Amino acid sequence: MNRREIVKSLSVMPFAGGIMYKDELLNHGNSAVNSDSDIYRSLGIEPVINCRGTFTIIGGSIERPEVLQAQEAAAGQFVQYDELAHGIGKKLAELTKTEWGIVTSGCAGAMKHVTAACVTGGNPEKLIRIPDLSGFDKTEVIVPSHSRNAYDHALRNIGVTMVTVDTPEEMKQAISKKTAMIYIMTPKASETGQPFSLEVIAEIAKPHGIPILVDAAAEDLTIPPVHLARGGTVVTYSGGKAICGPQCAGLALGDKDLLMSAWQASSPHHGPGRDNKVGKEEMLGMLAAVEAWTTRDHQQEWQTWLNRLEHISKKLTKIKGVEANVKDPSGLNNRAPTLVVSWDPKTLNITGYQVAEDCARKAPRLAIGDGDDDQKAWVTITPSQMQDGQEKIVADRLHKLLSEKRPPLSSELKASTASVTGHWDVEVNFFSSTSHQKFFIEQEGNWVQGIHQGAFDKTEMIGMVEGDQVKFRSRFRYPGDNVTYLFHGKVNGDTMQGDIHLGEYLTAKFTARKANYQQNRKPIEIPGGPPLAT
């Protein structure tokens, strides 16, 4: 699963994460479950067992013991940050066999700083003018369409114009004196051998001296980084994913001069990167994570993950009709085995979505993947961020849920007692603003289709009506981004109101009133020929 797919699945992720006390973490998760007095439960929040992977919304990854020790050691003294960055840069270069490295506030922070470096060339007079790029020579970033994603906001924050291209030929035509850099996200279409691979892009960019930024946030760290060998100028990683460093840290490796300009554009220096502060603790924690990566027994870790999946598989396949298969990953992105547990929903009378939703909302809470089609339901379990002993909790939780007796699934809907056909004026109340929108709806029995006119654009909307309850769904799509509206409300005559689930953007409320349009009805005359005057 790449980061684009991760973003699509956020709407089913629980909004909480679990972490252990420092002493327990230093033992690297020997305790399967936190005590009732842990810091999250003291806030009324139930922690989550992470069976999904390195999702930021549930905490990313568990920091390595070496990382915690380095951060604690760094916290007790003061240091000049430029000197620290230089010492870390030299050490990262040695560890990763690259020219240079910098630690940033996450992968997105690294992407932002590198973009600033490409736009300014290290000139502080330009730096302090960002995002106003008036008079700048370099103001455009070229991006293959396969690499547009929600994370390229980090680039756009600098004020650059994103030039999206679909083919190598279009990229050649798009290159101009304004081109600051080329950005790609791995993997998929940028992989070696693909028509628009990094090698192809590098061949186009090299004669023009255009740097290439490679976003490898969720990948395993290769030494030396494979993407630099393939033609990239700088490659960026998330600290809180496979590397198991600080969740709020990232890494940029590659061309030293460009990375020195990127460091200049980051905190503690004033300018557009000041809001992306990374502390001395995270800097040394990230360095410790990279150093630990070079000595970790990755083969043994993999076997540990497989052992966890085997325990869960053996438990669940004792249920008649349940199958379990391990799916191996391809490539370096989110590299971990995944257990796919599947069944016939008509036999067990439960869907994959219902299993995942139950696990997400009730203790012990599990973050798991899910899916459904006409013949099969399934859930997925990724073991890389599970802690010792949690496989037993996961197996027991799922076994109990899948073994329960329940009535057959029904696809029949309650008859509709409300009519929503027509034009509706909609008031959406966000946390701190109100938006005036519109519905244009056609209803046939329980089913609804139509148009949702949002604050800026129109999009298709589908839905259903049961009794006086309505559920609508629409999705506004933008390059690399989307916003999904899930409306749930009650109809009362010519009004309806309720809640909106916005996935990762939390919630809103809506009130809709059927509009009465007073048309000025006049006969329409069709001329008999072309006009004699305009």
Burial of residue 84 (CB within 10 Å: 0-12, 13-18, 19+) is middle
Same domain? For 344 and 236 the reply is no
CATH of the domain at 126: 3.40.640.10
pLDDT at 404: 96
Q: How many whole angstroms separate alpha carbon 186 and alpha carbon 246? A: 22
Three-state secondary-structure class, residue 166: coil
CA distance 98 to 256: 9
436-458: b or e for each residue (b if 16 or more CB lie within 10 Å)? ebbbbbebeeeebebebbbeeee
CATH number for the domain spanning 36: value is 3.90.1150.180
pLDDT digits (tens, 9 = 90+) for 305-333: 999 999 999 999 999 999 999 999 888 88
The Cα 458–Cα 476 span in angstroms is 8
Q: Tokens 């850099």 map to which residue?
A: 181
User: Does residue 466 sit in the same domain as residue 495?
Assistant: yes
| Cβ partners under 8 Å of residue 521, min gap 6 | none
Please check whether residues 216 and 158 belong to one and the same domain.
Answer: yes
For residue 238, tell me if it sits in a domain.
yes
Q: What are 469-497's pLDDT values in tens digits?
A: 999 999 999 988 999 999 999 999 999 99
Identify the H or E element spanning 288.
Answer: helix 280-293
Domain tally, the chain:
3
Alpha carbon of residue 440 to chain centroid? 32
CA distance 322 to 317: 5
Mean per-residue pLDDT for 13-41?
46
The reply to whether 171 and 256 lie within a common domain is yes
In a domain, 133, yes or no: yes
Strand partners, 377: 343, 372
Least confident of 29-43, 347-361, 434-448, 496-510: 29-43
Boundary of a domain, candidates 355, 375, 403: 403
Q: Which of 293, 313, 332 is the endpoint of a domain?
A: 293
Q: Are residues 380 and 432 located together in one domain of the fold?
A: no
Q: Clarify whether residues 316 and 266 are in a common domain.
A: no
- Residue 196 CA to residue 296 CA, distance in Å, equals 34
The answer to whether residues 37 and 138 belong to one domain is no
Domain boundary among 403, 432, 457: 403
Query: Is the predicted pLDDT of residue 14 greater than 70, yes or no?
Result: no
CATH of residue 472: 2.40.128.120
The Cβ-side half-sphere exposure at 51, using a 13 Å CA radius, reads 30
Question: What's the one-letter identity of residue 418?
Answer: A
213, 526, 531 from 523: Cα distances, Å: 61, 10, 19
Same domain (yes/no): 330, 276: no
CA separation for the pair 109, 237 (Å, rounded): 10
In a domain, 525, yes or no: no
- Structure tokens given for 152: 């390229």
User: CA 446, CA 469: separation in Å to the nearest integer?
Assistant: 10
Q: Both 344 and 467 in a single domain?
A: no
Query: Please, which residues have CB within 8 angstroms of residue 202's CB and are 6 or more apart in sequence?
Result: 212, 230, 231, 232
Q: Do 51 and 72 fall within a single domain? A: no
User: Residue 63 corresponds to which tokens in the numbers above?
Assistant: 């920091």
Beta bridge partners of 422: 441
Per-position b or e across 19-35, b if 16+ CB within 10 A of its CB: bbeeebbbebbebeebe
Which has more confidence, 295 or 30?
295
Q: What percent of the chain has pLDDT over 70?
A: 93
| CA dist., res. 521 & res. 534, Å (int) | 25
Q: Does the residue 532 lie in any domain?
A: no
Burial category of 36 from C-beta neighbours within 10 Å (exposed 0-12, middle 13-18, buried 19 and up): exposed
pLDDT at 390: 97
Strands (E), 145-298: 161-165, 179-185, 212-215, 234-238, 250-254
State pLDDT tens for residues 189-219: 788 888 999 999 999 999 999 999 999 999 9
- Same domain? For 288 and 305 the reply is no
Of the candidates 497, 445, 506, 439, the residue with the CA atom closest to the CA atom of residue 473: 439
Confidence of residue 337 (pLDDT cuts 50, 70, 90): very high
Residue 115 belongs to a domain: yes
Whether residue 413 lies inside any domain: the answer is no
- Assigned token pair, 21: 């006390």
Look at residue 333 in the predicted model and tell me its pLDDT: 84
The pLDDT of residue 309 is: 98
Q: What is the pLDDT of residue 288?
A: 98
CB 142 within 8 A of CB 175: yes
Confidence check: pLDDT of 7 > 50: no
Query: Which residues form the domain of 383?
Result: 3-59+299-403
Angle between helices 256-264 and 81-96 (to 10 degrees): 150
Q: Which residues, listed in sequence order, are joined to residue 102 by a DSSP beta bridge?
A: 252
Whole-number pLDDT of residue 35: 54
Residue 387 has pLDDT above 70, yes or no: yes
**How large is the average pLDDT for residues 368-386?**
96
Domain assignment present for residue 322? The answer is yes
Residue 435 and residue 397 share a domain: no
From residue 169, how far is each of 116, 144, 222, 329 by CA, in Å?
27, 11, 30, 32
Whole-number pLDDT of residue 323: 97
- Number of residues that this document lists for the chain: 534
CB 86 within 8 A of CB 54: no
Return the pLDDT at 516.
Answer: 83
CA 28 to chain centre: 26
- pLDDT of 28 higher than 90: no
Q: What radius of gyration, in Å, describes the C-alpha atoms of the chain?
A: 27
| Cα–Cα distance measured from residue 271 to residue 242, given in angstroms and rounded to the nearest whole number | 30
* Amino acid occupying residue 76: G
pLDDT at 420: 97
**Tell me: the pLDDT tens digits for 109-160?**
999 999 999 999 999 999 999 999 999 999 999 999 999 999 999 999 999 9
Rounded CA separation 46/356 (Å): 16
- In this prediction, residue 521 carries a pLDDT of 81
Cis peptide before 272 (omega within 30 of 0): no
Query: With 80 as the cut, is the pLDDT of residue 32 above it?
Result: no
pLDDT at 517 over 80: no
Alpha-carbon gap, residue 100 to 114, rounded angstroms: 13
Asked if residues 103 and 287 have their Cβ atoms less than 8 Å apart, the reply is: yes
Which residues on adjacent β-strands are paired with residue 441?
A: 422, 450
Per the domain annotation, does 524 fall within a domain? Answer: no
